Amino acid sequence: MPSPRYWREIPSRYRLEAGRCTACEKVAYPARRICPGCGGVDFEPLRLSLRGRIVTSTVVHVGPDEFQMEAPYPVAIVETPEGARLMVQVADCEPGECRPGMEVALEFRRIRKEGLSGILCYGYKAVPVSHEQGEV
């Protein structure tokens, strides 16, 4: 990943910064310029809660080259209490445990590593609430 892009995406990746439309209150994550709900252009910044519920999920057995070493790994769409939906990996659980409806916490983790000398890419992964380590 080119480093300017990685730097640019840090607010959403490291701080889970979303935008709440001031007109219709829809929460867009990652933040956008135009509200997909009403077309409004004014947003207030909003940090998402570090918890949510799995809407749907899968376990990837055949991954892209750079993730294949980690397979099988679960991936889920998680909805936070603010109504934002995030695509995230699910860590610290048996792949089969990860099911729609499961409550999860979001924890800051390393997501990917680009070869031997590339950027270490961080972000959030979901963990089952029963397994969470830190305070939410």
Partner 1 sequence: MRDVAIVATGMTPFGELWQISLRDLFVEAAREALDAVDRPSLDGIYIGNMSGGQFVGQEHLGPLMADHLGVAGVPATRVESACASGGAALRAGFFEVASGASDLVLVAGVEKMNDGADVTGVLATAADQESEVYHGITFPGLYAMIARAHMEAYGTTEGDLAIISVKNHRHGALNPKAQFRQEVTLEQVMTSSMVSEPLRLLHCSPVSDGAAAVLLCPLDRAREFTDKPVKIRGSGFATAAMALADRVDLTALEAVSLSAARAYRAAGVTPSDIQVAEVHDCFSIAELCVLEALCFAKPGGAAELTRAGETTLGGRVPVNTSGGLKAKGHPVGATGVAQAIEIVEQLRGEAGARQVQGATLGLTQNMGGSGASSVVHIFERV
Which two structure tokens, joined as six digits, stand for 99?
């099911």
Check residue 135 for interaction with partner 1 (CB under 8 A): no
Q: Please, which residue, 43 or 73, has the CB nearer to partner 1?
A: 73
Quote the CA–CA distance of 100 and 8 in Å, as a whole number. Answer: 32
Percent helix, strand and coil across the chain, each rounded to 5? 20, 40, 40
Check residue 73 for interaction with partner 1 (CB under 8 A): yes
**In this structure, are strands 51-60 and 103-113 parallel, antiparallel, or unpaired?**
antiparallel
Which two structure tokens, joined as six digits, stand for 17?
């910064």
Q: Please, which residue, 57 or 128, has the CB nearer to partner 1?
A: 57
Q: Among 17-25, 29-37, 39-47, 127-135, which window interacts with partner 1 (CB under 8 A)?
A: 29-37
Check residue 81 for interaction with partner 1 (CB under 8 A): no
Omega cis (within 30) before 2: no
Positions that interact with partner 1 (CB under 8 A)? 9, 12-13, 29-30, 36, 55-67, 70, 72-73, 75-77, 85-89, 95, 100, 111-112, 121, 123
